[in-house]
Structure 1
Amino acid sequence: MNEASFIPKSVKSTVDSGSFTWESPSNIALVKYWGKKKDQIPENPSISFTLNQCKTSTKLSFSKKENSDDYSFDVFLDGQKKPDFKPKIETFFKRVEVYLPFLKDYHFKIETSNTFPHSSGIASSASGMSALALCFMSVEKLLNDGKISNQFFVKKASFLARLGSGSACRSIEGPLVVWGEHGSIEGSSDLFGVKYPYEAHQNFNDYQDTILLVDRGEKQVSSTVGHNLMYGHPFALERFKQAGQNLENLISILKNGDLDDFIKIVESEALTLHAMMMTSLPYFILMKPNTLSIINKIWEFRKETGSKVCFTLDAGANVHVLYPEIEKETVLKFINNELVAYCENGHYICDVIGLGANEI
């Protein structure tokens, strides 16, 4: 499929008003995407675990307006109007208008809330933009008298979500989602995320993700700025090749359930992501001293006990502690005894991989 596949041939704005509500989760990349081309196209493929508990609920209400001159919308977070959210939403509207030609025909009320604290340091753009994209797809389906297949609905929702926030395209489905074209993964595309199409070993069933909140503050460098710094980065091309090879290697690891090899790739990817930040110009460091303390504690614990616990990082200081469900009791005890001291105010969130978004 190409971009033109998502442009409606005709959409009749014949419905006066209505509303839809979707909840969509965040996700955590195992092979990282860092660096993008024009129109939110990734420089390298990525694969992620879809989360279950960390999610955004969005209600989109719409009502027909008299003129179609411009966009009309209000945004609310937890019941409070958020005018500072509007520029990002308007940018999203401009990017997707050709694919959602009814946008200027309605006034939209966007009411959103997160199951995790807004200031927790967990990126809400993936869950938020995917939930909003799904709401708009529900409107499009309504305006087409329901004549949209579920397969197309999901693909276009992921396509639209990508135009709001790149990683949001990986939040529609689960438990494993690939984004970015890769020769060994059937159906993979730069335009949208696809559910991982191959067998995954039972070792990865109900995989746990405990998120240690090291720093709940706003990042000093936005992800958008960080992605753009990959242009002209001295190690960019090698990094893009490395990501593709790591994803290739993960295919057999996910099939055979080798957790030692899984750990090597996941932790290497996390550290490589931050190495790219530290070697860009301008350079920056998003890890904090407590991030490094947690990493070293995890390494010590794994060496001493033979545990299969590991870590990954997003573009920030917080640590995602990943481990198989069978080790849940042991690892949570380790977290409470050894790692919680490095969390801001002792805060952490327990999550598990999930199956994607749901309409409410």
Structure 2
Amino acid sequence: MLEGEAEAPSNIAIVKYWGKRNSALNLPLNDSLSISLEALKVRSKVVFDPELSKDKVRVNGVKLSDEEVKSYASRVLDRMREISGKSIYAVVDSWSNFPSSAGLASSAAGIAALTLASSDALGLKMDPKELSKIARLGSGSACRSVYGGFVIWHSGARDDGEDSFCEQIFTHDHWRDLVDLIPIFTDEKKRISSRKGMSVSVETSNLMKCRLEFVRETLPSVLDSIRNRDAKKFFEMTIRHSNSMHAIMMDSFPPLIYLNAMSLKVIDSFGDGKIAGYTFDAGPNPHVFTLRKDAESVEKTLIELGATKVIKSDISAGPRVGKKGVDENN
């Protein structure tokens, strides 16, 4: 048997992707920019066993269906088997320290951890760029969790996806004063998966072309705001990119509604971008970025709005591979 273990951070996209040009390879329609989060992690252990007749995956102790395994984990494992030349199935155990399927990118962290743990088990010496391509096969945003800090995912143009990969553009300590507050309003599973929702939007949203132009035009400004640690500009662009994606969701048919009443209260409270900038993925729980000096005030407001708890996260330095690098408390 061959064993490997790894821990990967979740990530939250500031410049988001919503829609694919190739679903089989998870190739996005646009570049995206994310931040890896220290407080949200997934730990995965992979055991390749010649006695197995298929891949098996457990997430927080719950066994996934064969269809779920085939749609996500086996896409990564098949590629690893191809590279290593070993035709051997695996048992995967993953544990997260945050609610899954509630819009906090648990699948991204899980697939990234699986990719790194599989590489560790098979003894493959691969750089993060190549690992990001493999993680992308299992879950698009997982490729960004292969790195820490601020990460850009290049959409690429090639049909085979070889130019669609991630790279770190700023390290985790580039902007030490920036923190992410994540209020938990609900841990309910979302009704429509991101994968399904993107497909609906690509097929039906009349605003998609406009949004893609918006992303191309504004990505340089987002990068500049991070480079210069310009909080006011960063908060504004974070809010605008979140709103842009959810406008596409609402313009889809039937409309995709991932936000709830509590989400709207957050938008109303921080929409001016003066001390914080919110962003929502496909779920009702926001990420609210603010400076460390304002974190206490922002957290107090989030609790007053009804959050059952608020997770405070610094920016992650990145994944850890091997048993010695895994946080056993998660």
| Residue type of the alignment partner of 2:63 | K
Q: 1:97/1:269 Cα in 2 relative to 1: closer, same or farther (>3 Å)?
A: same
CA distance in 1, matches of 2:64, 2:271: 44
Structure 2, unaligned runs of 5 or more = 326-330
Q: CA deviation at 1:99?
A: 5.3
Q: 1:194/1:348 Cα in 2 relative to 1: closer, same or farther (>3 Å)?
A: same
Aligned match of 2:10: 26
| Residue type of the alignment partner of 2:280 | L
CA distance in 1, matches of 2:155, 2:206: 23
User: Quick one: which of 237, 249, 259 aligns to 1:277?
Assistant: 249
Matches within 5 A, 1:239-250: 239-250=211-222
Aligned match of 1:352: 314
- Contact 1:41/1:190, CA 8 A, preserved across alignment: no
Aligned match of 1:7: none
Matches within 5 A, 1:20-99: 20-38=4-22, 39-65=25-51, 72-78=54-60, 80-84=61-65, 86-92=66-72, 93-94=74-75, 97-98=78-79
Aligned match of 1:212: 183
1:226 counterpart = 2:197: yes
Q: What's the CA shift string for 1:289-318, capped at 9, x where partnerless?
A: 111112212247x6xxxx521211111111
- Contact 2:18/2:245, CA 8 A, preserved across alignment: yes
Aligned match of 1:13: none
| Residue type of the alignment partner of 1:54 | L
CA distance in 1, matches of 2:156, 2:234: 19
SS at match of 1:295: helix
- Contact 1:20/1:60, CA 8 A, preserved across alignment: yes
Q: 1:333/1:282 Cα in 2 relative to 1: closer, same or farther (>3 Å)?
A: closer
SS at match of 2:227: helix
Q: CA deviation at 1:231?
A: 3.0
Q: 1:82/1:127 Cα in 2 relative to 1: closer, same or farther (>3 Å)?
A: same
Which stretches of structure 1, 4 residues or longer, exceed 6 Å deviation after superposition? none
Aligned match of 1:316: 283
Q: CA deviation at 1:356?
A: 1.4
Q: 1:254/1:117 Cα in 2 relative to 1: closer, same or farther (>3 Å)?
A: closer
Q: What's the CA shift string for 1:256-292, capped at 9, x where partnerless?
A: 2222111111101111111101001221221111111
SS at match of 1:88: helix
Aligned match of 1:236: 208
SS at match of 2:202: coil
CA distance in 2, matches of 1:218, 1:91: 18
Aligned match of 1:157: 131
Structure ID, larger Rg: 1
User: Quick one: which of 325, 334, 356 aligns to 2:292?
Assistant: 325
Q: TM-score under structure 1 normalisation? A: 0.79
1:195 counterpart = 2:168: yes
CA distance in 2, matches of 1:21, 1:201: 26
| Residue type of the alignment partner of 1:194 | E
| Residue type of the alignment partner of 2:149 | P
| Residue type of the alignment partner of 2:279 | T
Aligned match of 1:169: 143
CA distance in 1, matches of 2:266, 2:94: 33
How many residue pairs match? The answer is 313
CA distance in 2, matches of 1:276, 1:190: 26
- Contact 2:173/2:315, CA 8 A, preserved across alignment: no
1:138 counterpart = 2:120: yes
CA distance in 2, matches of 1:358, 1:206: 24
Q: What's the CA shift string for 1:103-157, capped at 9, x where partnerless?
A: 87223111111111446552311000000011122234x2x6xxx3xxx431222
CA distance in 2, matches of 1:209, 1:169: 21
| Residue type of the alignment partner of 1:123 | A
Q: TM-score under structure 2 normalisation? A: 0.86
| Residue type of the alignment partner of 1:161 | A
CA distance in 2, matches of 1:246, 1:182: 18
Aligned match of 2:328: none
- Contact 2:100/2:187, CA 8 A, preserved across alignment: no
Structure 1, unaligned runs of 5 or more = 1-16, 184-188
Aligned match of 1:260: 232
Q: 1:54/1:107 Cα in 2 relative to 1: closer, same or farther (>3 Å)?
A: same
SS at match of 2:104: coil
SS at match of 2:127: helix
- Contact 2:48/2:88, CA 8 A, preserved across alignment: yes
CA distance in 2, matches of 1:118, 1:161: 18
